[in-house]
Amino acid sequence: MEIDRDQIQAALKNVVDPNTGKDFVSSRSIRDVAVDGSKVTVAVELGYPARSQEDALRALVTEAVGQVAGVTAVDVTLTTKVVAHAVQHGVKLLAGVKNIIAVASGKGGVGKSTTAVNLALALAAEGARVGILDADIYGPSQPQMLGLQGAQPASPDGKTLTPIEAFGVQAMSIGFLVDVETPMVWRGPMATQALKQLLTETNWADLDYLIVDMPPGTGDIQLTLSQSVPLTGAVVVTTPQDIALLDARKGVKMFEKVGVPILGVVENMSLHICSNCGHESHIFGTGGGQKMCDDYNIAFLGGLPLDMQIRTEVDAGRPTVVAEPDGRIAGLYREIARKVAGSVAIRAKNMTHKFPNIVVQNT
């Protein structure tokens, strides 16, 4: 019996990739379909890293194609290729970095830095090349969170800085350059200038994603950064109480105003699970993050519990994703990371990156 290729295509169109929310055909992930008698080979190329989910994704595709009449065997190959995606109009990409993702919050103390570092490590665990820029100029916490206190970046050429590597992630922070005990009393323009310099004068080495841990809030510095840093998208972190959500809404609006897509919202401290009795309580309320996402038609990426483990591990310089990589919480961060990267993958590609300026020489 001859296998109908249209039916294979239709079967592939029926499988939704949980990380992009789109089917494999619409997300342009199918590179090749080969039919040999009753055997079908499908080459899938993901636009995001998904090391911990490869078997599951392969199984999804295998099952769908296996149901097509006449198919007796299915072989699915899965590869990942992360490319550069579009940024704000008129803003140039940064050398050595394909996609920059801002992690922001409407107000301080909601767990933005904790989320940023765990997201960066989760993307790396899924197989991507990742960097993190600590742009939280008034309270740089990444050196401590990555166990790099006191570390100083080298500058082999006296002009640019080499990022410091921790757990496979390239890190740069204003905290490496100034004494973190000294409060920084820089005026806005100086702070933004320093941050832009830190971003552009670091030798990022071939990154798929650079996570920027933004300063909290939606003031001048944040607005200038979100306008001038070439951002593929932004992730907004909030806690579920009304007052935090109000500020998170301002964060969403700020990025929308400057043409930066919101990749989604992470609700931190969503739920408290008592370490003694296991009782679950919604200390800060429930459903607020989801409602905000529904109102704005943006993605709710997931929630993290209020859990002592998250605090003790990140404060001790070994964030949960590396301290307990197989635990439930690391699994939540990895799921959020895959959704963030999946959401980036289905955005328009950046053609300027793919085709660098071509100089035509007249001879």
Ligand X SMILES: Nc1ncnc2c1ncn2[C@@H]1O[C@H](COP(=O)(O)OP(=O)(O)OP(=O)(O)O)[C@@H](O)[C@H]1O
Q: How far is the CB of 57 from ligand X (least distance, A)?
A: 28
- In this structure, the number of other CB atoms found within 10 A of the CB of residue 95 comes to 8
CB-based contact 191:184 (threshold 8 Å)? yes
- Which residue, 114 or 222, has its beta carbon nearer to ligand X? 114
CA nearest to 121, candidates 183, 209, 247, 228 = 209
Q: How far is the CB of 241 from ligand X (least distance, A)?
A: 14
- Which residue, 44 or 248, has its beta carbon nearer to ligand X? 248
- Residue ranges that bind ligand X, judged by CB under 6 A: 105, 108-114, 136, 139, 141, 216, 268-269, 304, 306-307, 310-311, 314-315
Q: How far is the CB of 102 from ligand X (least distance, A)?
A: 13
110 among annotated binding-site residues:
yes
Give the CA distances from residue 183 to residues 172, 175, 179, 257, in Å, rounded to whole numbers and listed in that order: 19, 11, 8, 31
Strand 164-166 to strand 262-267: parallel, antiparallel, or no bridges (unpaired)? Answer: unpaired
37 among annotated binding-site residues:
no
- The conformation of residue 197, written as its DSSP 8-state character, comes to H
168 among annotated binding-site residues:
no
Residue type, 308: M
- Which residue, 253 or 311, has its beta carbon nearer to ligand X? 311
Q: How far is the CB of 305 from ligand X (least distance, A)?
A: 6
**Residue holding tokens 């919604």?**
282
Please provide residue 269's backbone torsions phi and psi, each rounded to the nearest 5 degrees: 60, 40
| Rounded-to-integer distance, Cα 172 and Cα 131, Å | 8
Residue-by-residue DSSP string for 140-152:
--HHHHTT-TT--
Q: At what angle do helices 5-13 and 54-66 cross, to 10 degrees?
A: 140
Q: How far is the CB of 326 from ligand X (least distance, A)?
A: 19
109 among annotated binding-site residues:
yes
**Residue holding tokens 């079908």?**
40
CA nearest to 265, candidates 293, 305, 227 = 293
CB-based contact 171:317 (threshold 8 Å)? no
- Which residue, 10 or 177, has its beta carbon nearer to ligand X? 177
| Rounded-to-integer distance, Cα 248 and Cα 254, Å | 10
- Which residue, 118 or 170, has its beta carbon nearer to ligand X? 118
Q: How far is the CB of 176 from ligand X (least distance, A)?
A: 17
Overall residue count recorded for the chain in this entry: 363
Q: How far is the CB of 137 from ligand X (least distance, A)?
A: 10
Q: How far is the CB of 178 from ligand X (least distance, A)?
A: 16
281 among annotated binding-site residues:
no
- Which residue, 127 or 216, has its beta carbon nearer to ligand X? 216
Residue-by-residue DSSP string for 254-272:
HHHHTTPPEEEEEETT--E
285 among annotated binding-site residues:
no
- In this structure, the number of other CB atoms found within 10 A of the CB of residue 315 comes to 13
- Which residue, 138 or 296, has its beta carbon nearer to ligand X? 138
Q: How far is the CB of 343 from ligand X (least distance, A)?
A: 22
- Which residue, 216 or 289, has its beta carbon nearer to ligand X? 216
Residues 6+ apart with CB under 8 A from 3: 35, 38, 40, 68, 69, 70, 71
- Which residue, 47 or 288, has its beta carbon nearer to ligand X? 288
- The conformation of residue 16, written as its DSSP 8-state character, comes to B
Residues that constitute the known binding site = 106-113
Residues that constitute the known binding site for ATP = 106-113
